[in-house]
Structure 1
Amino acid sequence: MDFAVWEFIGQWAWVGWIVLIALFLAIEVMAGELTFLMLALGSAAGIVAALAGAPVWLQVIIAAVAAVAGLTLLRAPLLRRLRRSSDPQKFNVDALIGLNGMVTETVTAIGGRVKLVNGDSWSARVQAGGELPPATPVVVQQINGATAIVTRTTATTPTPES
């Protein structure tokens, strides 16, 4: 390439770095995994090098080193810190797995009813076949649609509120 082209690129490289920063930040907002944030950090180092008058090849090296350093040194601790405060509470169907209950209507492989300790009444099927008579303590193994798949438990289950 002609010297004038390289001079033009070197003179306006900071604009390219700003475009990369904006692009990486927009992708990071959608991704949320801090990878593109670290690439934006590298691009910020590139723009600093450009404004300091470094040649384009050096700007690229500085940006790459800063991005790799951010990915290896900052990303993992930041992700741990962000996820540390996340709510470990299970919701919806996931919260029912492992919940104890009591058979209210005989439960077979075809159907029946149980009342869980949280007060919910569910249609139920026994997991391993057989039959569970009323007042049998059970534990929810899985949820299949609107049916709780249960097994007999030996744990003493508090009687759910009627």
Structure 2
Amino acid sequence: MSRTVPAFAVSLLCAALLSGCAQSPTGRNQMLLFSPQQMSQLGADSFSQMKQQEKVSKDAKTNAYVQCVTKAVTAQVPASYGISSWEVVVFDSKEVNAFALPGGKVGVYTGLLKVAQNQDQLATVIGHELTHVLAQHSNERLSRSQLADMGMAAANVALGSSEYGGATMAALGLGV
């Protein structure tokens, strides 16, 4: 029985590798195991949690400014990417950062507005974050993590209770 489990795991891994091949907008090969719908749902879930955990800015002027700049940037995203609307939230935080999540979710921290001195600088940061979504970097990272977990599980089964199993798994874990 122990021989069929690794064979099954290897078969599953090969099927995942073959079915998940894609190419980024820059032409780089990617491994994407999750559908755009799954990634959008994960992005929506994460964004919802963030809005509950982080302080959302109530400053009307700041929100209007960030919405205006973000709208100008997102208007340049081709419809072929499948994101018809973008939700933008300004988080009241000293953190100098912004982010974008799959499914058209954008967060901007007020700390960034102290560093980005004009709308062009803010647009540059937001555009950079949007490209992570458009290039499906979240899907790629999540897919790599899933494949690593599957590989570790298969190695654990293959090694079983061998004399060096624990040390081998520890070494594999470090490598992964």
Q: TM-score, normalised by structure 2?
A: 0.22
- Based on CA coordinates, which of the two structures has the bigger radius of gyration? 1
More strand as a share of residues: 1
Higher helix share: 2
